[in-house]
């Protein structure tokens, strides 16, 4: 095993072969079990089913992009050391918000070089167009409470990341 990145089995592997139970690892494994995620190298690409757990949008007052995450998924997302986010166009014929962690090594990983991981969240065209109008700068990640099976429109901020638009 060469890194602490997510592998094709949905496990975060460490250099010495020990596999840690990391909250993000468990979340990805659940998505993998549901057939809602695929791996492309060190990239985790969400399918429509997993993407439904996110609510991308904009905050017009703050003039920034927002990525809502269903409350029960907030801890796994917060557990990964995300360092930036981007709005991508034309990757595999789709539009995406991609979260990136420059160093996804966890636990007792012994690899000296950092390992990058990216999480690709697909967007529909209407959301993409709205987010595209926001200036580069920051994206706020918020935890959205669920009550009576409905996701709230406003949530609690859990992190803010640098954000830029990239046309491919």
pLDDT tens profile 24-41: 888 888 888 777 888 888
Could you give the CA distance from residue 87 to residue 92 in angstroms, rounded to a whole number? 14
- Number of other residues whose CB lies within 10 A of the CB of residue 40: 10
Residues with pLDDT less than 50, the chain: 1-4, 8, 10, 13-19
pLDDT, mean over the chain:
82
């Amino acid at each position: 095993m060469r890194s602490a990145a997510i592998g094709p089995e949905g496990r975060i592997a460490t250099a010495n072969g020990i596999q840690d139970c990391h909250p993000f690892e468990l979340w990805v494994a659940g998505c993998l079990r549901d057939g809602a995620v695929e791996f492309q190298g060190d990239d985790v690409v969400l399918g429509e089913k997993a993407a439904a757990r996110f609510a991308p949008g904009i905050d017009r007052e703050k003039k920034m992009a927002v990525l809502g995450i269903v409350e029960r998924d907030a801890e796994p997302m917060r557990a990964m050391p995300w360092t930036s986010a981007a709005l991508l166009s034309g990757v595999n014929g789709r539009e995406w918000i991609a979260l990136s962690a420059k160093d996804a090594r966890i636990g007792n990983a012994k690899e000296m070089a950092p390992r990058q991981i990216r999480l690709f969240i697909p967007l529909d065209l209407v959301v993409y167009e709205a987010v595209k109008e926001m200036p580069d700068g920051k994206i706020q990640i918020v935890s959205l409470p669920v009550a009576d099976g409905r996701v709230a429109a406003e949530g609690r901020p859990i992190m803010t990341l640098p954000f830029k638009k990239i046309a491919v």
